[in-house]
């Protein structure tokens, strides 16, 4: 549904309002295609297509740096720069971008942890930084790199504390806990102190904690970071079901394009605090003129594989790297290689997001 972008427009306010989508997803727009300005939060929760409303939001940090014995220099860091987008109720949106792009800062403003330096922000009609406690009843938050669980307590004790903090009625708490325990496979872990859990177990524990009070929105900051393939699959499967069955709105940040591919119909790319792309993942591949890479381990050293449109970009002994168009089927290519070459192993590498963004800029510069 969303195809528009704030582009590199930025601070003059031209980005984010005109609802145009450049053919390749680049250009200026507000994400959800509203071209006639923003709802005033009018309905109790901002309306279905603007459940989350972000209008030219900025965040500037003041940083002090020691430059001498008694001297300090003050510097401003513009972490988020006039970002505008909307998220509809029940949407699942992924947010990607290089390190330091402003993703976490955006999520923190949406939870009310940080106050924007400028712009307008509403979640379910609520201004997060002004009514953080009221909003807390309606949102769940998971920070992949930090836990909200009590480190030294058994997992179940954290949940009991959450029940009190959120004043969750008994029956609801039971039902939600049972469901999370079953689907996230936490049964054998409830009595284990959090510090003894593996990263994947802890992450599942954190996701359950964020859902005990039935939030309408779930923010996930790097929910699969550091997880092995099996744990990633469990977390993704759970989130997909949650969204399909409960209609929970999900906004997640990630460095893993597979999270986006498997979960989100829409992706937002943030770079240097600006929204540079907002649309489907397929459009991002096109915008970046992108290719995926198949890493092929042959049983022995052989001349470069010849299977157009794939082309060999690197060879190291029996290992060869083949670049192929992102919209081509990897399965088909794998089948063709397996039929013609002695194959020992292979893996598909998704494009590096920084390279995608770099290419998007390069294309925009020459267009």
Q: Binding-site residue total for ligand ATP (CB under 6 A)?
A: 12
Nearer to ligand ATP, 255 or 319 (CB): 255
Q: Does the protein bind ligand ATP through residue 269 (CB under 6 A)? A: no
311 in Cβ contact with 253 (< 8 Å): no
Q: How far is CA 349 from the centre of its chain?
A: 19
Contacts to ligand ATP from residues 134-193, by CB under 6 A = none
Q: Does the protein bind ligand ATP through residue 42 (CB under 6 A)? A: no
B/e letters for 183-220, b = 16+ CB within 10 Å, e = fewer, are: bbebeebbeeebeebeebbbbbbbbbbbbbbbbbbbbb
The CA-based angle 47-179-261, given to 5 degrees, is 60
Contacts to ligand ATP from residues 45-64, by CB under 6 A = 61, 63
- Tell me how far CA of residue 184 lies from CA of 4, 54, 179, 256, 334, in angstroms: 35, 32, 8, 21, 33
Nearer to ligand ATP, 52 or 270 (CB): 270
110 in Cβ contact with 52 (< 8 Å): yes
Residue 227, both tokens: 């997880």
Nearer to ligand ATP, 99 or 133 (CB): 99
Q: Provide the minimum distance between the beta carbon of 315 and ligand ATP in the complex, in angstroms, as a whole number.
A: 33
The CA-based angle 35-41-42, given to 5 degrees, is 100
- Tell me how far CA of residue 143 lies from CA of 13, 44, 290, in angstroms: 31, 28, 30
Nearer to ligand ATP, 61 or 151 (CB): 61
Nearer to ligand ATP, 27 or 273 (CB): 273
136 in Cβ contact with 162 (< 8 Å): no
Residue with tokens 């469901």: 179
Give the number of other CB atoms < 10 A from CB of residue 165.
Answer: 11
Contacts to ligand ATP from residues 96-135, by CB under 6 A = 97, 99-105
The CA-based angle 4-7-10, given to 5 degrees, is 125
Q: Provide the minimum distance between the beta carbon of 115 and ligand ATP in the complex, in angstroms, as a whole number.
A: 12
Q: Provide the minimum distance between the beta carbon of 80 and ligand ATP in the complex, in angstroms, as a whole number.
A: 7
Q: Does the protein bind ligand ATP through residue 73 (CB under 6 A)? A: no
Q: Provide the minimum distance between the beta carbon of 353 and ligand ATP in the complex, in angstroms, as a whole number.
A: 10
Q: Does the protein bind ligand ATP through residue 79 (CB under 6 A)? A: yes
Q: Provide the minimum distance between the beta carbon of 261 and ligand ATP in the complex, in angstroms, as a whole number.
A: 18
Nearer to ligand ATP, 77 or 344 (CB): 77
Q: Provide the minimum distance between the beta carbon of 146 and ligand ATP in the complex, in angstroms, as a whole number.
A: 12
Q: Does the protein bind ligand ATP through residue 77 (CB under 6 A)? A: yes
Report d(CA 102, CA 253) in Å as an integer.
10
Q: Which region, judged by CB under 6 A, interacts with ligand ATP, from 93-101, 133-141, 242-250, 294-302?
A: 93-101
Residue numbers at the binding site for ligand ATP (CB under 6 A):
61, 63, 77, 79, 97, 99-105
């Amino acid at each position: 549904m969303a195809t528009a972008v704030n582009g590199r427009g930025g601070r003059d306010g031209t980005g984010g309002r005109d609802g145009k989508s450049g053919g390749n997803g680049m250009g200026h727009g507000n994400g959800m295609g509203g071209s006639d300005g923003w709802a005033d939060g009018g309905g109790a929760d901002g309306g279905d297509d603007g459940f989350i409303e972000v209008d030219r939001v900025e965040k500037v940090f003041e940083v002090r740096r020691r430059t001498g014995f008694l001297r300090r220099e003050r510097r401003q860091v513009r972490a988020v720069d006039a970002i505008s987008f909307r998220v509809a109720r029940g949407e699942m949106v992924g947010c990607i971008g290089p390190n330091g792009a402003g993703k976490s800062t955006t999520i923190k403003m949406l939870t009310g942890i940080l106050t924007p330096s400028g712009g307008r922000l509403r979640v379910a009609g609520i201004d997060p930084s002004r009514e953080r406690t009221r909003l807390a009843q309606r949102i769940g938050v998971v920070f992949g790199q930090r836990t909200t669980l009590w480190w030294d307590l058994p997992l179940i004790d954290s949940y009991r504390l959450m029940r009190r903090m959120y004043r969750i009625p008994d029956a609801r708490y039971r039902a939600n806990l049972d469901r999370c325990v079953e689907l996230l496979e936490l049964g054998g872990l409830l009595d284990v102190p959090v510090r003894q859990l593996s990263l994947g177990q802890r992450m599942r524990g954190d996701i359950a904690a964020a859902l005990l009070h039935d939030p309408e929105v779930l923010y996930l900051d790097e929910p699969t970071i550091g997880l092995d393939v099996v744990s990633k699959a469990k977390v993704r499967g759970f989130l997909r079901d949650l969204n399909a069955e409960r209609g929970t709105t999900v906004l997640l940040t990630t460095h893993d394009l597979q999270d986006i591919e498997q979960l989100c119909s829409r992706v937002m790319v943030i770079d240097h605090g600006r929204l540079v792309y907002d649309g489907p993942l397929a459009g991002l591949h096109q915008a970046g003129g992108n290719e995926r890479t198949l890493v092929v381990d042959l049983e022995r050293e052989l001349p470069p594989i010849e299977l157009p449109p794939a082309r060999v970009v690197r060879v190291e002994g029996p290992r060869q790297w083949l670049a192929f168009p992102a919209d081509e089927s990897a399965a088909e290519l794998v089948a063709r290689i397996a039929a013609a070459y002695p194959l020992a192993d292979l893996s598909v590498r998704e494009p590096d997001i920084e390279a995608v963004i770099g290419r998007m800029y390069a294309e925009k510069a020459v267009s």
